[in-house]
Amino acid sequence: MSNLDRQASLSVCGGRGFVVAEPVRELLNPRHVQLGESTEVRRLLPNLGRRMVGAWCFVDHYGPDDIASEPGMQVPPHPHQGLQTVSWLHEGEVLHQDSLGSRATVRPRELGLMTSGSAISHSEQSPVPHPRYLHGAQLWVALPDRHRHVDAHFEHHATLPRATAPGLTATVILGSIDGATSPGTTYTPIVGADLALTAGANVQLPLEPDFEYAILSMSGEVHVDDVPVLPGSMLYLGCGRTELPLRAESNAGLMLLGGEPFAEEIVMWWNFIGRSNEEIAQARSDWMDGDRFGEVKGYNGASLPAPELPAVPLKPRGRVR
């Protein structure tokens, strides 16, 4: 999924100065962003108070939307560099096409994982015909410097491993949970999991104390470490936890995001992650006037133009507040 914000701003993210080294309960409120004609997303990362969680650097939650009489998701071809995109659905279908020639329809609780390396472009659309409801999340993972020029590739994993406990089913999206490991390719110590809880569930989820974590609420009524987390909001949990108390008042869906704190400082703008303003400016120029990002064949329509770069450049320097 693209960042369609035409007023896109440069953000400095990463660096251990951002990390809270102890358990906390920091509730993040979303920013509402229009994505195409019929989809509004709730943007949780980057957030004014929190830029990253491990290598997770971008989180949009959308739906559930009734798109029976709407086109649904319609994101034209657009570029990415320096990151991985994670497509995750609870309802609906999304057709992925990219400049490598990949074409796949991602369905609920299937992993669509695109590694951009230094350059790729893709489109995302609700297929025709499409299911009535659309509900999911789109997430980005920042690639560390030693891997950010890896060859671009796309993975579609229709079946993922699960870890279970009374009242809880955890589908492992990336990394490992309680001995269950995702087949998705990772480049940093990271975890992502879809947590389905039944009404009345009261469980302790095992965690890695060296990771920082956050919980995104997708649906239902749930208390995370005794904090009520409403759908479309995120609770940042910090580091130093070995387990996480979860209590469901109704059937509920959550996403667990975590990982080793991302030590490198990065510059993120529009759909690019780099290490300097100059690198971001070059990527924009290559998208607008070159062929570095390739062509998405099979998409009926024009590619997405890049917004203008901010007049004042941003330089990584210590902690951003």
Residues 13-34: pLDDT tens digits?
766 666 788 999 999 989 988 7
Residue 276 phi, psi (nearest 5): -155, 160
Q: What are phi and psi of 256, to 5 degrees?
A: -95, 125
Distance CA 225, CA 237 (A): 9
Predicted local distance difference test score (pLDDT) of residue 310? 87
Q: What is the pLDDT of residues 233-284, one digit of tens each?
A: 999 999 999 999 999 999 999 999 999 999 999 999 999 999 999 999 999 9
Mean pLDDT by 10 residues, the chain (321 residues): 56 68 92 75 90 96 95 95 98 98 98 98 96 97 98 98 97 97 98 98 97 98 97 96 98 98 95 96 97 95 94 53 25
Q: Considering the entire predicted model, what is its pTM?
A: 0.93
Phi, psi (deg, nearest 5) at residue 87? -100, 130
Q: CB of 79 within 8 A of CB of 121? A: yes
For 103, other C-beta atoms within 10 Å of its C-beta total 14
Q: How far apart are CA 1 and CA 55, in angstroms?
A: 17
Distance CA 114, CA 104 (A): 11
- d(CA 61, CA 229) in angstroms, rounded, equals 14
